[in-house]
Amino acid sequence: MMGIPEQGLALEASGLGKRFGSTWALRDCGLSVPEGHVVALVGPNGSGKTTLLHLAVGLATPTTGRVRVQGGLAAGSLEALERVAFVAQDTALYPSLSVADMLHLARNLNADFDSARAEARIAELDIPSARKVGKLSGGQRAQVALTLALAKRPRLLILDEPLSSLDPLARHDFMAALMTAVAEDGISVIFSSHVVSELERVCDYLVVLASGRVQVAGEVDDLLTSHQLYTGPAAQADRLAAALPVVRDRRAGAQAHLLVRTGGRRAEVPTGWEAHEVGLEEMVLAYLRDPGASALPGPRELTGKGARP
Amino acid sequence: MTTAVTEPTAAPSRPSRPSLRALAWVTWRQHRTALVGLLGVLVLCGLLLLQNGLTMHADFRRWGLADCGPGHHNQACSVGIDAFHHDLDLVTRLTAVLFPLPVLFGMFLGAPLIAREFESGTHRFAFTQGVGRTRWLVTKITLLAVLTVASAGAFDAIVIWWYGPLVASHGRLGEGSLTFEVYGVVFVSRALFALALGIFAGALIRRVVPAIAATLAGWIAVFTVTFVSLRSHFLTPRTVVDATAPGNNPWVFAEKWTAPDGHVLNSGEIYTLRNAASTAGHSQDVFAYLAQRGYSYKATYFPQSRFWAFQTIEASSLAVLSLLLLIGAVWLVRRRAT
């Protein structure tokens, strides 16, 4: 067997595409995300994040290619549904059920459900279990959804925009709860977000989607060491840009700021230029501004055709 | 096997599935409002039948109408039949109230079943649980179908008791008679059909109100087509020529009187002719009397004894149709993922 010997892949896609009518929501997507990471899936609205996650949990079926989760399980198969928990955007819980009933419902829909832990968590969070889910605050509802997902004892937890409808405090609490669970259970997490700030603190693997294509994929540390901001004379900028993969080219008078993909090694800085480290947010924003640029791990392990058995 | 396929990290031991009891709780919790509402309507109608039945049965006995079947025309019977007219009128009205009841199962239980999940987005929760959407749906459908058949069946038992005395005197089969719709297995199968149609419409349309409207329209269409034209083709009718009246309360759907000179009588002429026969003292043997006088009579009809045959054919056709719709709904939910 090839790939990473000790770990399987949390998410594995090859040639994955999804078309709605005549529009491709996702196209030729190839990904190999190893297990044990907290993966942020970033991209502007409409970039295909939800489509990719829905394909990964079997809520959508691919138009082309295939997607596997948690060590090669077909997305949406019963085995995958057992081991992969999903928190949909805006939680998708039944608003007319009480928290207690919602818990009971989830227990009855999953054979291996940790009721005691779920109840303890709800009590710990001070969420009134007799209250209807629809009457909870956004933060409480998100916490209930996370509780239900974790009580399934998944190996992989997928969350679609878990933070989008939360206020900053609820956001903080939610991420704290998520990180605690990751630390306790050692599960893999994939979450989508169009919020780019604060990602550095929570994720160690990044996937950037733009217009239905994977633009960046890799471990955060690798991505940060392989990207540098070169500052130097604007007169030499064009020559440099022709020789190096430039993600973003910003000129300010006589000075040029080039965000360069250096290839991972401590590349030599051209004379007359200064190199600075870049933050994750800055790097992500640079990619989002230029959908043509891409940073994908190479050599690619999976290609659309080669991966077919 | 190519190298690109990664092996599952943990060998997938067959995971255990949620028990039927667990899914029964889910079904009950999610549909109890509709179920309680439907049962409430049935109980209310049942009480109405009970109350009307007690009065009507008492009147039936009081006027001795059990002995006043066709062919027992005497003075007491005529008085009784007249007095019973009011009761009979109520029976007809109640029947008209009862026959659409089955469609409620489709509108309020069937149509929202899948449509509401899609409309409110909760299918994203329901379909990603360990149970899997197929088992989730099949269990729900099965349990709700059993509940539908059981409650419609129980209600039908009341109807059968209620209409009991009238079976011999008024029959259960006839042109334009709604008794066929409420008495027997057809009523139950119409409820099952409504449920299946609702579930299928919900899976197809994915919006609650349009699915309810489609269920109502589809149910009415199937009912009307069967009632107006299909049913009479289910069995081969009997044909009677001359002399004999076609049995007791027959369902006559085509009849023709031909005059001695060979022309076919219209309804006005038939009426005049039968009146003339009565005046001549032949109200009991109209057919024989007119045959003697050279009129020929031809009728196509079904005798009352065919009632259960008709019921079986119609109920089983509806059951098969329901099964196909339910299979279609499951297929739609499995296939159309988003």
Strands A64-69 and A156-159: unpaired
Same-domain pairing of B143 and B280: no
Q: Do A93 and B125 touch (CB under 8 A)?
A: yes
Q: Per residue in A50-106, pLDDT tens?
A: 999 999 999 999 999 999 999 888 888 888 998 999 999 988 999 999 999 999 999
Q: Do B132 and A81 touch (CB under 8 A)?
A: yes
Same-domain pairing of B119 and B194: yes
Does A299 sit behind a cis peptide bond, omega within 30 degrees of 0 on the bond before it?
yes
Place of tokens 């040029």: A256
Output the pLDDT for position B247: 61
Question: Which residue in chain B has the smallest CA separation from A60?
Answer: B337
Mean pLDDT of all residues in chain A?
84
Please give, rounded to a whole number of angstroms, the shortest distance from the CA of A87 to a CA of chain B.
Answer: 7
Same-domain pairing of B259 and B231: no
Residues 6 or more apart whose CB falls under 8 angstroms from that of B225 comprise none
Cβ neighbours of B90 (radius 10 Å):
12
Same-domain pairing of B216 and B291: no
Same-domain pairing of B259 and B135: no
Output the pLDDT for position B171: 76
Residues 6 or more apart whose CB falls under 8 angstroms from that of A203 comprise A37, A38, A39, A40, A191, A220
Domain contains B228: yes
Please give, rounded to a whole number of angstroms, the shortest distance from the CA of A40 to a CA of chain B.
Answer: 20
Minimum mean pLDDT among A2-6, A84-88, A153-157, A223-227: which range? A2-6
> Cα–Cα distance between B198 and B110 in angstroms, integer?
4
Domain contains B96: yes
Domain contains B151: yes
Same-domain pairing of B136 and B83: yes
Question: Does pLDDT of B61 surpass 60?
Answer: yes
Output the pLDDT for position B125: 94
Same-domain pairing of B38 and B98: yes
Contact B230, B224 (CB under 8 A): no
Exposed (0-12), middle (13-18) or buried (19+): which is A49, by Cβ within 10 Å? Answer: buried
Cβ neighbours of B261 (radius 10 Å):
6
Same-domain pairing of B290 and B277: yes
Does ipTM top 0.85? yes
Residues across chain A: 309
Contact B65, B84 (CB under 8 A): yes
How many domains in chain B? 2
Query: Mutate which of B1, B2, B9, B122 to test chain A, going by most A C-beta atoms within 10 A?
Result: B9
Output the pLDDT for position A156: 93
Domain contains B107: yes
Output the pLDDT for position B15: 54
pLDDT bracket for residue A4 (50, 70, 90): very low
**Residue ranges making up the domain that contains B123:** 33-235+305-335
Please give, rounded to a whole number of angstroms, the shortest distance from the CA of A92 to a CA of chain B.
Answer: 5
Question: Does pLDDT of A305 surpass 70?
Answer: no
Q: Per residue in B123-143, pLDDT tens?
A: 999 999 999 899 999 999 999
Mean per-residue pLDDT for B104-127? 94
Domain contains B13: no
Output the pLDDT for position B6: 44
Minimum mean pLDDT among A151-155, B136-140, B258-262: which range? B258-262
In degrees and rounded to multiples of 5, residue A306 shows phi and psi of -65, -20
Domain contains B182: yes
Mean per-residue pLDDT for B232-248? 67
- For the stretch A272-276, contacts whose Cβ atoms lie closer than 8 Å and that sit 24 or more positions apart, written own/partner, are A272/A232, A272/A233, A272/A236, A273/A230, A273/A231, A273/A232, A273/A236, A273/A240, A274/A230, A274/A231, A274/A232, A275/A228, A275/A229, A275/A230, A275/A231, A276/A228, A276/A229, A276/A230, A276/A231
Query: Mutate which of B14, B19, B33, B129 to test chain A, going by most A C-beta atoms within 10 A?
Result: B129
Contact B242, B297 (CB under 8 A): yes
Q: Per residue in A138-152, pLDDT tens?
A: 889 999 999 999 999
Same-domain pairing of B70 and B50: yes
Output the pLDDT for position B252: 74
> Looking at the partner chain, which of B6, B17, B30 has a beta carbon nearest the beta carbon of A72?
B6
Same-domain pairing of B279 and B188: no
Domain contains B1: no
Minimum mean pLDDT among A297-301, B156-160, B226-230: which range? A297-301
Cβ neighbours of B7 (radius 10 Å):
12
Q: Which residues of B touch A306 (CB under 8 A)?
A: 2, 4
> Cα–Cα distance between A279 and A291 in angstroms, integer?
19
> Looking at the partner chain, which of A71, A82, A90 has a beta carbon nearest the beta carbon of B7?
A71
Domain contains B4: no
Same-domain pairing of B294 and B326: no
Q: Do A111 and B17 touch (CB under 8 A)?
A: yes
Same-domain pairing of B99 and B179: yes
Q: Where are the alpha helices (DSSP H) in chain B?
A: 20-62, 75-83, 85-98, 101-104, 111-120, 123-126, 133-163, 166-170, 179-182, 185-205, 208-225, 267-279, 286-292, 307-335
> Looking at the partner chain, which of B18, B22, B338 has a beta carbon nearest the beta carbon of A54?
B338
Q: Do A309 and B1 touch (CB under 8 A)?
A: yes
Output the pLDDT for position A7: 61
Mean per-residue pLDDT for A280-303? 68
pLDDT bracket for residue A263 (50, 70, 90): low
Residue with more model confidence, A248 or A153: A153
Please give, rounded to a whole number of angstroms, the shortest distance from the CA of B134 to a CA of chain A.
Answer: 10
Q: Per residue in B26-45, pLDDT tens?
A: 899 999 999 999 999 999 99
Q: Do A8 and B6 touch (CB under 8 A)?
A: yes
